[in-house]
Amino acid sequence: MTARLRATAEGRLRLGVNIDHVATIRNARGDSYPDPVRAALLAAEAGADGITAHLREDRRHITDDDIARLSEGLSIPLNLEMAATDEMLAIALRHRPRAACIVPEKREEITTEGGLDAARHHNHLAHYVDQLGQAGIRVSLFIEPDPAQIEAAIRLGAPVVELHTGRYAHLDGEARAVELRRLADAAALAVKNGIEPHAGHGLTFDNVVPVAAIPQFRELNIGHFLIGEAIFSGLGDTVRRMRALMDEARG
Ligand code: PXP
């Protein structure tokens, strides 16, 4: 790769494709298909820069075996979403994904509802951030776009934060514009303090462009919409279209 191409690739907004819900469909019947690893390979071919998978405590979608196969079979980085528990830490240290995103997890929730309260749980999180970091895994904290949470991430020494876009995605009109400004301000505060900001949750073809246009974001992680849309357009075309919208947003 030439220096110019490398600079372009490094500067562009990365797309992490979350393949959890391929596993949700598989697990609905307890069969071996559709295979999330096959989806990950297809997403990589279509332009995904990374694959994200959330190994939940209850293994409702991604399983331990999926993580093992993703760790071995991917040519692009794996971002393991995990709760801050000793069980998940041991799994992360065994497989050593490129990145680990610490998320809050409640057994009864439908999806990750809201970000981590990094300010409140500083002492609990510090151990996991340190252990993952020492193993060479790039740690991110999934937090709300709130200055208090960014400040907690700074104190924890997290190199990356992922800002929760769920509220933005579910609001309309002026309320959405206010939430978008919160995302932009939090991303700018992160960068000012040497933290790389990512974003994700609830992003779709219809709402991704304003988020992708926030210049500080380096990565978006998108799952549920892409897997659902793939039913109609195929996963390759769906990932390519998302990629194109993100690139257009960056001009
Ligand atoms: N980022 C994080 C940290 C998440 O927990 C999730 C959902 O698993 C996503 C991104 C992707 O959200 P969605 O599936 O709504 O695109």
54 noted as active-site residue: yes
Task: Decide if pLDDT at 1 tops 80.
Answer: no
pLDDT given at position 44? 98
- Which residue range is the domain that position 24 belongs to? 11-249
Closest atom of ligand 1 relative to the 202 alpha carbon: 15
Q: Which residue CA neighbors atom 12 of ligand 1 most closely?
A: 201
Per-residue pLDDT reduced to its tens digit, 54-64: 999 999 999 99
> Tell me, what amino acid is at 195?
I
Tell me how far the alpha carbon of residue 100 lies from the centroid of ligand 1, in angstroms.
Answer: 13
For 115-138, what is each residue's pLDDT tens digit?
999 989 999 999 999 999 999 999
218: in domain: yes
113 falls in which pLDDT band (50, 70, 90)?
confident
What's the whole-number average pLDDT of the chain? 94
What secondary structure letter does DSSP report for 110?
S
Q: For residue 126, is it within any domain? A: yes
Number of folded domains that form the chain:
1
Give dist(CA 3, CA 241) in Å, integer. Answer: 27
Has residue 4 been placed in a domain? no
Residue 46's identity, in one-letter code, is A
By the 10 Å C-beta count (0-12 exposed, 13-18 middle, 19+ buried), 241 is classed as middle
Expressed in angstroms and rounded, the spacing between residue 1 Cα and the centre of ligand 1 is 31
pLDDT number for residue 108: 66
* 2 located within any domain: no
Per-residue b/e over 105-139, b at no fewer than 16 CB within 10 Å? beeeeeebebbbbbbeeeeebbebbebbbeeebbb
Ligand 1 binding residues, C-beta < 6 A: 18, 20, 54, 81, 101, 103, 111-112, 142, 162, 200-203, 221-225
The confidence score (pLDDT) of residue 204 equals: 98
Question: What are 145-179's pLDDT values in tens digits?
Answer: 999 999 999 999 999 999 999 999 999 999 999 99
In a domain, 100, yes or no: yes
* pTM of the model as a whole: 0.94
Cβ-based neighbours of 247, under 8 Å, separated by 6 or more: 12, 13
**Identified catalytic residue from 81, 105, 196, 219:** 81
> Residue 67 maps to which CATH number?
3.20.20.70
Is 60 within a domain?
yes
6 located within any domain: no
Q: Please give the angle made by the CA atoms of 191, 192 and 196, to the nearest 5 degrees.
A: 15
The H or E element that residue 153 is part of is helix 147-156
Report if residue 19 sits inside a domain.
yes
